[in-house]
Amino acid sequence: MNGKRRQSGRQSPASDSEDGSDNERPQLSDSTRTNHRLASKLVRYALACEYSRLPIRREGIKENVFGGEKVARFSPIFDLAQTQLRTVFGMEMVELPTKDRAHLTLDQKRKAAKSQTAKSQNRTGATTRSNAYILVSVLPPELRGPKIIAPSKVQSSEGEASYAGFYTTLIAIITLSGGELSEAMFRKFLSRLNADQTIPSMNPSNQNQPSEQTEIVLQRLIRQGYLIKGTAAGEEGDEAITWHVGPRGKVEVDNEAIAGVVRAVFGDATEGLENKLQTSLGVRPREEVAGGAPGHGRARHVQPKEESDDDSGRQQNGNEDEVDEDEEDQPAPRRRRVNTAGQHSPMTIRTREDGDPGSSRRNLFG
């Protein structure tokens, strides 16, 4: 395939960057070839990170993609990978916003200050970069519907769907409360969602673990960057806990997604609701969002029926239902998370030739 593509004679500057890793075209310099190979590896790394909701970090790229290799310049490889992601996969890496320092605990602030000086970053604030990225879909919204992009089978697609529904709702609540919730209010909302003790696990049909402790799930949400458990400026030196939307949450659950939650909760959109949404979130009224695509509308009606059958997480409570339905009902304009395959599962690792010898290999070939 490469051979065919190589001979197809393109002139556009982008064309080179889309070629595969093992390009033997003679006029390509060694460094160009190296860049292509590393860019493809970076693409794999990016897909892998997204699968486990880890941010793609510069340090991670250096360690896992470049390995011991000396790389003259980082950005050409990164840009090449970005182009490959866009053209082949319809995805791109989006830089996460930096954490808002106001929400950090004193300890975290101290750490942040230290690492910032260490990196000698621009400390004026606005232009400080996080150097961490997540993968989002750049396909048109109508191509991101659940009929096309299934909730990825990270542990089970039902679990993934209810998990996404849970954090989407929490982020919507926090955002519409002005971006910050006190611990007390946050807990109150959790109990209204009937999620103050447990929520459905990542695989709700697993009899051995149908649900998970809310605390554990919240820790995961914090770790994955959906939520931030921070502190408000304490009046008497004591720090009150507050909840904020984390960097991944801001990118993945954008205002359009939040509007989707509100529409699902309030039922059919009225003009008044759409006006309020526009004021609060700056989203366009729904008609325009849907783009009037007949096919898309159809897909939306079919979907809930398909997924609701096996969604045992539902029995948890009524409100969770709303979340799930919303997730299935209209994620097309809102859901940005890219679902990557489970090819990075433990099975894959069995194919490794280096590192862990694996017990059986030892047994047979001693």
Partner 1 sequence: MSDSEDAHVGNMEGHGNGLPLGYNDANRAFLQALLSRGSVTFSEGQSILSAILSTTNPDRDPIPSDKITRDIFSKYVHTAHEALLPFDYDIRSTLHQRTRERVWAIINVESDPATQLATVHTPEEILYVNRLLDQMFDTHNTPRMEIMAVDENQALKVARPSRSRGEDGAEEVQTQGGDKGLRASDVLTLLENLVAEGWLEKSRARFYSLSPRSLLELRNWLVETYNDDQAEEGAWQPIKFCDFCKEIVTVGQRCDERDCVTRLHNICQEAYWEGREEKKCPKCETVWSGKQYVGERAVTGTEAYARGHRKSSGRSRRQRDEAEEDEDGEE
Report 293-312 residues binding partner 1 (CB under 8 A).
293-296, 298-299
289 binds partner 1 (CB under 8 A): no
16 binds partner 1 (CB under 8 A): yes
What is the distance of C-alpha 348 from the center of its chain?
A: 22
Helix (H, G, I), strand (E, B) or coil at 159: helix
Of 89, 176, 265, 284, which one interacts with partner 1 (CB under 8 A)? 89
330 binds partner 1 (CB under 8 A): no
Residues 97-126 that bind partner 1 (CB under 8 A): none
52 binds partner 1 (CB under 8 A): yes
Closest CB to partner 1 among residues 323, 332 = 332
Least Cβ distance, residue 223 to partner 1 (angstroms): 12
Report d(CA 335, CA 328) in Å as an integer: 10
346 binds partner 1 (CB under 8 A): yes
Of 27, 124, 208, 279, which one interacts with partner 1 (CB under 8 A)? 208
267 binds partner 1 (CB under 8 A): no
Closest CB to partner 1 among residues 157, 231 = 157
Q: What is the CA radius of gyration of the chain?
A: 23
Residue given tokens 């909701």 in the structure block: 53
Provide the H-helix boundaries in the chain.
Answer: 2-6, 13-17, 30-51, 58-61, 74-84, 106-119, 157-176, 183-192, 214-223, 247-252, 255-266, 271-281, 286-290, 294-308, 318-329, 346-349, 359-365
Q: Which region among 259-267, 272-280, 317-325, 350-358 touches partner 1 (by CB under 8 A)?
A: 350-358
b/e for 177-207, b at 16 or more Cβ within 10 A?
eeebbeeeebeebbeebebeebbbbbbbeee
Report d(CA 104, CA 241) in Å as an integer: 10
261 binds partner 1 (CB under 8 A): no
Residues 149-168 that bind partner 1 (CB under 8 A): 149-157, 159
Of 31, 62, 88, 191, which one interacts with partner 1 (CB under 8 A)? 88
